[in-house]
Amino acid sequence: MSKLSRTGVSLEDDLLREFDRLIAKRGYANRSEAFRDLIREALLSETVVSNQPVVATLTLVYDHHVPHLAEKLTDVQHTAGAMVLAATHVHLDHHYCLEVILMKGRGKEIQAVADGMLALRGVELGKLVLTNSGKNLKHSGHHNHSH
């Protein structure tokens, strides 16, 4: 565990009030842990730019009545090959399916695979969530908060 350093941050009162409201809603114990998470998230977005190894989940909601969409999604995953670790498919209702795809690879490659699936006609919602491959996560202890 690395040494803690203290730093001061100057914020407008209304911005700080909004931030406190948000972190209370999310269940953070204090501002410090919330700031740490924001900084980690900002650093993580750099891993795509710098093409570092990442682990990712891509969550998609799509209309399975759109012709050949399921096959196209599968084709993209086959093309991605070893980057795709697993995929979970759930039928939400008569029209919609939810798919969560777990991937591991370099940031830019993962982003390209995700973009390929998100751009397909019939994909209604999509979100790519990246995290460092475990060895790069430098947490100072664990934290629990609900979203």
Query: pLDDT per residue over 81-134, tens digit each?
Result: 999 999 999 999 999 999 999 999 998 999 999 999 999 999 999 999 988 766
User: For residue 95, what pLDDT is reported?
Assistant: 92
User: For residue 59, what pLDDT is reported?
Assistant: 97
User: For residue 141, what pLDDT is reported?
Assistant: 46
Helices (H), 2-82: 13-26, 31-49, 69-80
* Residue 33 burial (10 A CB sphere; 0-12, 13-18, 19+): middle
Residue predicted with more confidence, 101 or 144:
101
pLDDT at 138 over 60: no
Domains of the chain: 13-49 (1.10.1220), 53-132 (3.30.70.1150)
Are the CB atoms for 143 and 29 separated by under 8 Å?
Answer: yes
For CA atoms 121, 126, 130, 133, the dihedral sign is negative
User: For residue 96, what pLDDT is reported?
Assistant: 96
Query: pLDDT per residue over 28-79, tens digit each?
Result: 989 999 998 888 887 877 777 778 889 999 999 999 999 999 999 999 999 9
Beta bridge partners, 96, equal: 63
